[in-house]
Structures are given as structure tokens and as C-alpha cells.
Structure 1
Amino acid sequence: MFDPVCPTDLTPFRVGDKWAGMIIRCLEGGPRRFSELRVPLRGVTAKVLTQSLRALERDGFVVRTVRSAPARHVEYELTALGRSLIGPLDAACAWAREHWEELLEAREAGSATAGDG
């Protein structure tokens, strides 16, 4: 999922936007700061990551907590609802791995015909 050559939009469904599934994966191990999320999600801009986190928070999948000690910082964590998405994400990733070649062939065929119209 985090491989730069992997077209993550080949997964069969999305929660929220392009980055939401990967954010959920990043938060699977526990709370993380914004800067910690930027490391594995190196392809996302700060603006888009902020928008994605806000959407996930709005939809009840992520909770944002402001910590004041020892230094002020913000952490993001999955809610119980967000955690409930891990199983479906696992299934979607397994499906995508099983059908990888077919998905890539369909994508390439679609790209080739898109220029014909």
C-alpha cells in the first residue's frame, strides 16, 4: 500500500479520499502526530493531509487531541469506528493483491481508449 510504484487507487473501495485508507493504516498502531504521518505518506502535501484528517475526524473515524505537556502538540488516533475499518481494508488489500495483474491491465486498456474518444 505504501510502495511508491503501487497505484493505491486500485483498491476496490475507498473510505473518504485517496489518502484515507493509508492514514487509517498509519494510525492502526496507535496515536501519531501530524509530522509522524508525513513520513510514510511522503507523497501527500501538508494541505491535503490536513483536509483528509479533517474529513476522517468529521466522519467519526479519527479523533484529534491537543496535548499541552511537555510541549504542545496534536495527535490523531483511530476511534472504535475507525478501527472497525481495518478488517475491510485487509480484505480489500488481499483482493487487490489477488487481482493485481487484471487491475493493471484494465487500467492500461482504459487509459489507451480514453485518448480515442
Structure 2
Amino acid sequence: MTGHLKEPVDLTRVTCNVIMKFGPVKMLDRKYMLPDLLKGMGAKLSGHLRPAAGPWRQTWNLQLPEAVPVAEHRILLRARTDSGKNFLALDITLNFSHRFRPSPTNGGAGARMLHGSR
């Protein structure tokens, strides 16, 4: 992700609302603190945890749980700072129309990886 912060942000205190849909059905509607959300997806906060106002760039490699069913999913993520200001909005469509087979190139355990950068 690449963006511009209007003011300093404490990433350890960012709250994320995550909605995961399969068609019209909500499979998940939950709030997380950003560090907990990342930890649950095999990542962690890195770099400066309290970036100053100005240009900001961040990349996380996320691992989705095996329990995610084979289908097309929509993930809506809305994040707010600890003062309640909008921080981040992502609308992601993921197509899991097939399962990956274990191989040396994908980690050997059939794990599905999502790598995003904007």
C-alpha cells in the first residue's frame, strides 16, 4: 500500500472492521486491532509503528486460513485511528475457485498466500 498520512498514526491502536462475504451472505463481521488481525494472518507490524504525517508505504504478506471455502469472496476492510478518523479502506475480491496443491513452490503445505501492495 502506498498513501499519504495527514497526521501521525499509532499503528498499534488502529481498529479494523472486517466483513467477508460469499455472495450476499456475510461469513464474517468482526472488529480487530491491527496487530491482532495481522498476527491471525501470519504477519506482523513492521517498520515504524508510529509513522509521521507524510508519504507512507507498507507491504504485508498474508496467509489465509485453510478453512476458507472454495468460492469467490469479497473482503471489506475499514480501519480507523484511535481518535476515530478514517485510516484505510480496502475492498478486495478473492477468487478461490480451486485449491492449491502442496508443492515445494507454495510452501509444501497447500497454504494459500495473498500478497498485496497498492
| TM-score, normalized by the shorter chain, greater than 0.5 | no
- TM-score normalised over the length of structure 1: 0.29
Q: Flag the structure with higher strand content.
A: 2
- TM-score normalised over the length of structure 2: 0.29
**Between Structure 1 and Structure 2, whose CA radius of gyration is higher?**
1
